[in-house]
Amino acid sequence: DIRLTQSPSSLSASVGDRVTITCGASQNISNSLNWYQHHPGKTPKLLIYDASRLQRGVPSAFSGSGSVTHFTLTITSLQREDFAVYYCQQHFSLPYTFGQGTKVDIK
């Protein structure tokens, strides 16, 4: 199975900060990488698919980049509603796998 490793596991930031989360894959997954936002107790939300494509309705403050084994999620100006847990997920090969998550909380 493909292993995804996110960094950092958690971070503290302020409203307006620029935040970057990385996701490393254990093998080449081309651009088959998605990012989700999850507020505890709520429904996970697809933010970015195919490494860099913004899901409809997601603010343009979110962006994704990368390919092969190294990927990043960037939030250019953190808003209060962005404090959540972020997960990467690969859809290059079954079984699909998620990264361990990155918790973004308020400094």
Q: Which residues bind another protein (CB under 8 A)?
A: 1, 34, 36, 38, 42-46, 49-50, 55, 85, 87, 89, 91, 94-101
Q: Which residue number, 63 or 100, has a Cβ lying nearer to another protein? A: 100
Q: Which residue number, 1 or 15, has a Cβ lying nearer to another protein? A: 1
Query: CA-CA distance, 107 to 4, in Å (whole number)?
Result: 27
91: helix, coil or strand?
A: coil
Report the nearest approach of another protein to the CB of residue 63 (Å).
Answer: 16
Q: Which residue number, 51 or 78, has a Cβ lying nearer to another protein? A: 51
Beta bridge partners of residue 49, listed in sequence order: 53
Query: CA-CA distance, 73 to 47, in Å (whole number)?
Result: 10
Query: CA-CA distance, 87 to 90, in Å (whole number)?
Result: 10
Report the nearest approach of another protein to the CB of residue 93 (Å).
Answer: 8
